[in-house]
Amino acid sequence: MTTHPTASTRRFDLLPVATDLRTKIVLTLFAVVAAYAVGDHLVQRKLLSGRFIQLERDEAVRDMERVTAAITDQLAQLDRLCVIQASREDARAFVTTEDEARSGIDLDGGTLETERVDLLFFCALDGRVLWGAIRDPETGGPLTLREFPNERLSLSHPLLTGGARPAADGILSTEHGPLLAAARSVGAPGGEGAAGGTLILGRFLAGEVMGRIASQTGVSFARWQLDGQALPAEEAEVLDDVTASVDPVVREHSDDELHVYTELADIRDQPSMLVRAQVRREISRMGAATVRYSLQSTLAACLLLLLVLNKVLGSTILDPLTRLTDHAVAVGAGDDLQARLELERNDELGVLGREFDRMTERLAVSRSDLLRTARTAGMSEIATGVLHNVGNVLNSASVSTAVLGEKARDLGASDLSALADALSRHADDLASFVAEDPRGVHMRPFVEALAHDLAASQASIVSEVEALSGGLEHIRELIHSQQALAGRGGVKEPCALHERVEEALGFCTRAIPPESDLEIVRDYEEFCDVLLERHKVVEVLINLIQNARQAMEEGGRTPRRLELAVRRGDSRHVRVEIRDNGVGIAAEDLSRIFALGFTTRPDGHGFGLHSASNAATEMGGSLSVHSDGLGCGARFVLELPLERVRQEVEA
C-alpha cells in the first residue's frame, strides 16, 4: 500500500530547517552588525576624512591660484593704463621734443595720484630719464630706487622698450618691496613713425594694492622678496620645497589654519617673491563632524535593525525573496547585466538565484556580442567619414604644396649668386665700378628688380604656407572632434559665418585653375558674430561645396555658377544656402540623398553628404536639399542655431 505524507508531516519535515535558519540568522546578525559598525567607522575615518582633507588642500591651492591670478590681473590693469597714457598726444610730444622745448609742454603729472600709481618715468630711447617720479605708497612722500636712477636707465634695463620690443611688464624686486611695473613705447605725435621713448608705470605690491587683492579674492596673504633678506623661520624652512615644486605647496600651520606657498618670477624670469596664503580649515572640521555623525547614525540604525529582525524571524524567508525580486527589477530597469545576486543557499531560493545569475550572464554575453558588432559598424562609419573629410582638405593642401615647390624653385637664387660674384670681383674698386662701369651702373636697377621679385615670391609663399597651415589645422580638428565624440561636445567660439563660408570655399577652389569658367556669386547678410563649432561648420560647408562642384562638372553647363548666401532665418536660426546649376537631383533620390553609401556618381562613395547631415544634427541644426529635377541644379540649406556672443559691458 502506498502512503502519502500528510500536511502535518510536511510541516514537521520543514521545522528543523526553519529552526536552523533562525539560529543562524540570530548569530550571524549580531556578528555582521558589529563588524559592519566597526568597519564602516574605520573606512569612513580613513577614506571620508582623507577626502575632506584632500578637498580642503585642493581648495587651498585654488585660493592661492586666485591670489596669483589677482596679482597678474593687477599687472594687466597697470599695462592697460600704460597703453592709454603712452598713446596720449602730449606724451608723444613730450618724448620727441628737444630738451629746451620740452618744458613748454603741459605734461599731466597727476597720474601718480589720480591713477594710484607709485612710479612714473618717461625715458628716451638711449635710456635718458626725461621725467620721473616715485612715491612712497604708505606716506605719499618721494622715494628713490636703485633700479630707477634719476639721470639714465641702463640700455639693458628690462623695462626699456623700442624696436622689436614695444612693450614689457612684470615684477621687479626693489629695496622698498616688490614693484608691479609695465612699460610701453611712446611714438611720435599723430601715431606715425618710430618710437620716440618709453613710458614706465609701477605700483608697489603693498598696502592698498595687497588690500584690494585680498578683498577681491577673499584670501588673506603675505609676501616676501627673495633678494637675500632673512625670511621668517617657517617660510625659510619651506622655501626649498616651494622652489622645487611646480604647484603650490600646502603646509598645516595649525588645527585651524593651512598655509599655502608659491613662488613668483620677476620680469627677468628669476625667482622674485614668496607668497603665502592663509586658509581657514573649515572643510576638515566639517569632515570630522560628518564622520562623527555617520558613526552615531550607523550605530542607531544597526541597533534598530537588530531589534526588528530579532522579533521578525519570519523575514528570514521573505528577505531572500525580496532580494531576488529587487535584483530582478533592478536588472530590468537599470539594464545592468553584470550585477550578480550570488544567493548562497541550498534551498529552492538558492537554486532560483543561481539560475537567475546564469541567465543574466548568458544574456550579457549575447548583448556583448551584439554591441561589439554594432560598435565595429559605427567605428567603420566614423573612420570612413573622417577619411572622406580629410581627403577633401588634402586636395587643397596638395595644391599649396605644389605651389610652394614651384615658388621655391623660382626664388632667383642664381641671380643673387651672380650679383655676389660680380661684387666680389670688384671688391677693391666697388665705388668706381658702380659709378662708372656700364655693368655697375645697371647693378642698382638689377638689385631693385631682384628685391621686388623676392618680396613678391615671399608674399606668395607666406600666403600658401598660411593656406597649408589652415588645411592641416582643419585636418587636426576633424580627427580631434571624432576622438572627443564619445566624451563631450565640440567647443563653440565666436565666428563670422560668412568668413567660414569663404574658408571652406578656399579649400575647395584652390585646385581650380585661374582660367576656369566657375562664376561665384556671394550674398552675405551682415550681422553680429555667433557661437559655432568652427571646424565642424567648415567640414559641412566643404562637403556641400565639393558636392556642388562635382554636380556642375557632371552637368556640363557653361558658365558654371555657384551661389553662396548667408541669411538670418527665424529669430533663433541662421541659414547658409549653397546653390549650383549642375546636374540636379531626381525626385525619387531627394529622400535618400543623405543616406550612408547613397551616391549617383560612378566614382562616389556616399559618405560626404551623410557625414555633413550628421554633423549639422550634432550642432543642433539641420541640413536640407531642394531640386526641381535633373538638369535644374540643386540648393542645399544648412540651418544652425543663432546663438549670439554675449556683449560684455565696457568698464
Domain range summary for the chain, segments of one domain joined by + = 30-298, 493-641
In this prediction, what percent of the chain has a pLDDT beyond 70? 69
Q: What pLDDT score was predicted for residue 6?
A: 45
pLDDT of 8 > 50? The answer is: no
Backbone angles phi, psi at 581, to 5 degrees: -110, 40
pLDDT digits (tens, 9 = 90+) for 294-325: 777 877 887 787 777 766 666 566 566 677 67
Confidence of residue 95 (pLDDT cuts 50, 70, 90): confident
What CATH topology corresponds to 30-298? Beta-Lactamase (3.30.450)
**Contact, 565 vs 573, CB < 8 A?**
no
Which residues, at least 6 apart from 11, have a Cβ–Cβ distance to it below 8 Å? none
pLDDT at 367 over 90: no
Q: What is the pLDDT of residue 377?
A: 52
pLDDT for 182-236, tens place per residue? 999 887 655 555 677 899 999 999 888 898 999 988 999 999 988 777 889 898 8
**CATH hierarchy code of domain 493-641:** 3.30.565.10
H-run or E-run covering 55:
helix 49-86
- 390 pLDDT band (50/70/90 cuts)? low
The pLDDT of residue 100 is above 60 = no
**Which carries the bigger pLDDT value, residue 532 or residue 332?**
532
Q: Which residue has the cell 623660382?
A: 410
pTM of the full predicted structure? 0.43
Residues sharing a CB contact under 8 Å with residue 316, sequence separation 6 or more, in sequence order: 21, 22, 25
635: confidence class by pLDDT, cuts 50, 70, 90: very high
Condensed to tens digits (0 to 9), the pLDDT of residues 545-564 reads 988 888 888 877 878 899 99
**CA 487/CA 378 separation, integer angstroms:** 16
Whether the ω angle into residue 641 lies within 30 degrees of 0, i.e. cis, is no
Q: What is the pLDDT of residue 563?
A: 92
- Cell numbers 603675505 correspond to 222
Q: What are the cell numbers at 561?
A: 555658377
pLDDT digit string, tens, across residues 243-257 = 888 899 999 888 889
Q: Is the pLDDT of residue 1 over 50?
A: no
Which is it for strands 271-280 and 518-524: parallel, antiparallel or unpaired?
A: unpaired
Half-sphere exposure at residue 575, Cβ-oriented, CA atoms within 13 angstroms = 16
In angstroms, rounded to a whole number, what is the distance separating the alpha carbons of residues 643 and 440? 65
pLDDT for res 229: 77
Residue 341 has pLDDT above 80, yes or no: no
- Could you read off the pLDDT of 71-86 as tens digits, one per residue? 999 999 999 999 988 8
Greatest pairwise CA separation for the chain in angstroms: 147
Residue 146 CB partners (closer than 8 Å, separation 6+): 174, 175
Whether pLDDT at 109 is above 80:
no
